[in-house]
Amino acid sequence: MDRAELSITLHRTGDEAVLRLAGEIDMLTAAQLSTVVNEVLTDPPPRIVLDLGGVTFCDSQGLGTLVVLSRKASHAQSLLVLTHVGDFLLRVLDITGLRSALMIRNDQPAS
């Protein structure tokens, strides 16, 4: 079995930190994501954006990590926003009831 991988690219501007994720968020990579977000939270911007456009898989550990990081950001007076969330992940968030616990901003025209 291949080891899951997660690539994280960080770009900071004045108002936000954008983390572009590519790969899998699971029990093997969730700690890596937590570490990077926790480092950003040492000097928290108003908004932390997790661009999930390159995420191909997310297990229960990954889902839990997203919720915990959202709460940590909130406590640090920052807002964690998920963007480019794939359909598979939106379905999982709906099924688990976690969608309402996360701020999701997929760039779509209003219907």
Share of the chain residues as helix, strand and coil, in percent rounded to the nearest 5: 35, 30, 30
- Which among 84, 22, 82, 32 has a CA at the least distance from the CA of 57? 22
In this prediction, residue 108 carries a pLDDT of: 53
pLDDT at 106: 86
Directed axis angle between helix 60-75 and helix 87-96, to 10°? Answer: 80
pLDDT at 1: 46
Which pLDDT score, from 0 to 100, does residue 74 have?
A: 97
Residue-averaged pLDDT of the chain: 93
User: What integer pLDDT is reported at residue 62 of this predicted model?
Assistant: 97
List phi, psi (to 5°) of 33.
Answer: -65, -45
Compute the C-alpha angle 11/15/17, nearest 5°. 25
pLDDT for the residue numbered 111: 38
Q: Please give the structure tokens belonging to residue 33.
A: 């994501």
- 42: which 2 tokens? 């040492």
Domains by residue range for the chain, with CATH = 7-105 (3.30.750.24)
pLDDT (0 to 100) of residue 3? 65
Contact predicate 82/66, CB 8 Å: yes
pTM of the shown model: 0.91
Residues of the chain with pLDDT under 50: 1, 109-111
Span 29-53, pLDDT tens digits: 999 999 999 999 999 999 999 999 9
